[in-house]
Each structure stands twice: as C-alpha cells, then as structure tokens.
Amino acid sequence: MKLSTIGKGAAIAALSLAATSASATFIYQSNGGTFGGSGGSFSSITATYNEISEQVSWRVDSGIRNGSQMAGAWLVLNDGPNPKTADVNELAIFYMDFVNDRLAVYAYNGQNNANSWFNPAVYLGDYSANLIDDGITQGFSLDATAINDPNPAVPNDGDGWRGVGFGASIGVWFHPVWDLDALYDANGQITQWDFDRQSWLDFSNRQTRVSEPGQLALFGIGLLGLGALRRRRNG
C-alpha cells in the first residue's frame, strides 16, 4: 500500500531529522567542584565535541584558588580512559595561557607532567585566536579538523593518532596553574612554561549527553519505523 500524504510527510521529516543527527554534539558538564593538588574550585566545567564538524570546546567558569582565577592550564581529552600516562603520541595537549592570551597545541607525550611542549615538542599549531577569557569563563572553542588529521610529524604513534574528541564517554586530564610565567617564539611555540602552583582534575569514563539535534533524530528514526510497520500491516 502507498503511503498517504501525511505518511510521506512524516517519512521525509524523519529522514531529515535522522540526517540532523550527524551534527549532534556530545556534552559533558559538571556543576561545581573542587580541584585536587594545591586546591581551588570551579562553579562549572563544560566540554563539547561534534564528531562531524570536529568543533571542540572546554570552558571553566570561576576557576579560582585563593581568590585568583587560573593563570593557565594544560588539558588532554579522550573518549573514556584517563588520558594521563596513556595514549602516548596519540592525543593532543592544549596549553592555555590566560596571562598572555595564548593557546598552543602539541602532541601529548604520555608523561605525568607538563613537558610535552619540549619533549618531544611536536607542535600542532597556534590557536590563540580561539582562547576564551572573559573574566568568568576561561577555556577555548575551536575547529579541531587540522589537529585530528593524521600527522606524520608525530613520532612512534603506531598509526594511532586521534588528536582530540569524545563521544558517549569522556576522559580528562586537566591541570590549572597559577603564577604562570610563559614565553613564546614567533610561531607561537612555547619556549618557557613555569608556574608556582598547580591543581588537577582527572577522571575517566564519565558519561556525556547528546545535544537536542541527536534526540530529535532518534524521534525521526522512530517515525520511519512506525511507517514501515504500517506498510507491512496494510500491504
């Protein structure tokens, strides 16, 4: 039996909604917490990643220690396990400098320290234009397409280069710092990264949620299923 006009419309709408799922964004959010190490707190942390556009963001609201906002931070993200001391030469590490308004990205060397910028110093680019620091929210939002592309400059990655991103779960290795003293060359590469205090926020396999487009797509797929069922019953 042919679909009615209404049925066709529902099917087209469902297909459109299903296609929209391609632009769904995974979101991780923590509303309030404390840092380990030298201490400090935040009112919220939000991370987002779109698997199609490869847009990634990391935002910390009111990251404060002893009344002072973060001076900088380094960050590694992946899709589940704690990135620290793992995924050697497979992930990107982001160096955020809120004193000099700089954001430098390198390949993470898998060590439990901040020295990826000089060991082995695989520089992935200057993304300073994508830094966020408005007095409350600090972090970045950028297109990670170039970061995620296979990079022959990354040594011994075993063809496992992933860059940055996450899906249904997220792993985080984040170290905010205070009293940062950093220097850069003409290409935006770090030549000095010294700080007085650091804190940390590390975790693995935290669940994310999907933005509204993905939820609508699931509804659309359901409509298609109902349409197919009706056709079988009335065929």
Judging by beta carbons within 10 Å of its beta carbon (0-12, 13-18, 19+), is residue 133 exposed, middle or buried? middle
Residue 89: what pLDDT? 84
Residue 22: what pLDDT? 53
Q: Which residues of the chain have pLDDT under 70?
A: 1-22, 155-159, 212-235
The residue behind tokens 């990135």 is 83
Residue 19: what pLDDT? 44
- Two tokens, residue 209: 């949620």
Residue 124: what pLDDT? 95
Residue 12: what pLDDT? 42
Which residues on adjacent β-strands are paired with residue 30?
Answer: 45
Residue 11 Cα to chain centre, angstroms? 34
Residue 140: what pLDDT? 98
Helices (H) then strands (E): counts for the chain? 3, 19
- Two tokens, residue 54: 């490869």
Residue 91: what pLDDT? 94
